[in-house]
Amino acid sequence: MARSGPSRREVIKGAVGVAAGAVAARLADAMPAGAQPPAAPPVVPIDPTRVTGGPTTAVGSRSPFVQPSRAPVGLTEGTSKTPLQLLSGTITPSDLHFERHHGGIPLIDPAQHRLLVHGRVAHPTEFTLDDLKAFPPVTRPHFIECAGNGREAFRKPRPDLTPQQVDGQLSNSEWTGLPLRDLLAEVGMDAAATWLLAEGGDAARLTRSVPVWKALDDALLVYAQNGEPLRPETGFPLRLLLPGWEGNINVKWLRRLELGTAPWMTRWETSKYTDPLPGDTARRFSFEQDVKSIITTPAHPEVLRPGPRIIAGFAWSGRGRITTVEVSTDRGATWRPAALVGAEHPKSVVRFTLPWRFDGRETILMSRATDETGMIQPTRTEWRATRGPGSDYHYHDIRAWKVAADGTVTFANGEVWA
């Protein structure tokens, strides 16, 4: 058969050499300062419409041009934060959900896993996952946030912090499971029960005491996240979800619930996750994550060019719905309401956006959220007055970003509220 024009092989061969340089230039242009380019730049054809593309695949993967990552510290005791600045919408991709473990990530065979429910119940029972899936399921969006989220930024508000470093122990998922109150009805919970102990099946066998009123309110036992089973690092095959409450109490790899009449005072609710207060005391059982927001773009390490920009970020409250997010583009002198996405969902992340124009003059951007209980994000100064500089958890003060005249963006909490 006669051919005209280049062969398929020639098209690809020619494309490789030319495209590699073009891609490298485009990447350098698009990458924010300080970000690491991929180790090997992807090779693309000059004209993708002239080359048959790739085959179908069993499991999808991201474009080689999009390579987000958590920030693992490489310890079984460590954290790995969500890259908030790379996210859109309200849902965190499951493989980017932040991590915090206390005995590493266990490998659990779901067929062997059991949930034991005992103590102050009429019918001490052990459930398989299939048993739990016989309960009417519910699916709801909720955030999980570590109680210590923001600690590093509060202690040392360095200008070179990114949204991931400031608040990356926050993630938002669509969870599927069953209301815990249904399970407690099934086992015939004793009316005298006021607390329950939740225990994980990991090497920490992590335990937390939970007031029964929360279990009867909006608590869930979840087995799925964003349309598929939980991931090992988010609790596979079963976790407790207490909407709006500090991350640690949402016990992963859940294997046991014991009903009782007093809190157990485990290490995780005494030595940890308590808040020292002025006046020689410490607050315990401070479960709710208070109202909070952060601008995730523009943020460090972006470099802005003068012109139109969208200011965007996340807001959330462990006490209910977000009603308002206000943005200031003049160091807090004036505030304007941002548009919200997802605000109908309580205890779930809201996306806020506000059109803005960078005019090449130095300024400071801030966001300030209000929730339906009327709680408003405090300033760093206000927060410190209430809690003191030595407190460790539940930082939710206003976050600020400084945009310099040359377009560089830096974290500004240390400068604004020195």
Toward another protein, which CB reaches closer, 15 or 254? Answer: 254
Query: Is position 186 an interface residue for another protein (rule: CB under 8 A)?
Result: yes
Please report, as residue ranges, which positions from 188 to 227 form the binding site for another protein (by CB under 8 A): 189, 194, 197, 199, 203-207, 211-213, 216-217
Work out which of 99, 233, 246, 290 binds another protein, going by CB under 8 A: 290
Distance CA 317, CA 329 (A): 23
Output the smallest distance, CB 157 to another protein, in A.
14
CB neighbours of 74 closer than 8 A, spacing ≥ 6? none
Count of residues near another protein by CB under 8 A: 93
Neighbours of 104 (CB within 10 A): 13
257 alpha carbon, distance to own chain's centre: 26
| x-marked contacts with another protein along 54-83 as a string, rule CB under 8 A | ---------------------x-xx-----
Kindly write down the DSSP assignment for every residue of 149-177, as one continuous string: TTHHHHH---TT--HHHHH-SEEEEEEEE
Distance CA 105, CA 235 (A): 8
Work out which of 300, 387, 399, 402 binds another protein, going by CB under 8 A: 387
Query: Is position 238 an interface residue for another protein (rule: CB under 8 A)?
Result: no
Query: Is position 266 an interface residue for another protein (rule: CB under 8 A)?
Result: yes
Work out which of 39, 40, 333, 418 binds another protein, going by CB under 8 A: 333
Output the smallest distance, CB 43 to another protein, in A.
41
What six digits make up the tokens of 378?
A: 């405090």
For residue 203, give Cα distances in angstroms to 117, 131, 222, 300, 394: 20, 25, 21, 37, 26
Output the smallest distance, CB 250 to another protein, in A.
17
Toward another protein, which CB reaches closer, 186 or 415? Answer: 186
Query: Is position 414 an interface residue for another protein (rule: CB under 8 A)?
Result: no
Output the smallest distance, CB 220 to another protein, in A.
13
Q: Is the dihedral of CA 304, 310, 316, 322 positive or negative?
A: positive
CB 175 within 8 A of CB 225: yes
Output the smallest distance, CB 230 to another protein, in A.
20
Distance CA 372, CA 390 (A): 29
Please report, as residue ranges, which positions from 106 to 135 form the binding site for another protein (by CB under 8 A): 114, 116-118, 123-128, 131-132, 134-135
Of 227, 252, 216, give the one whose Cα is nearest residue 115: 252
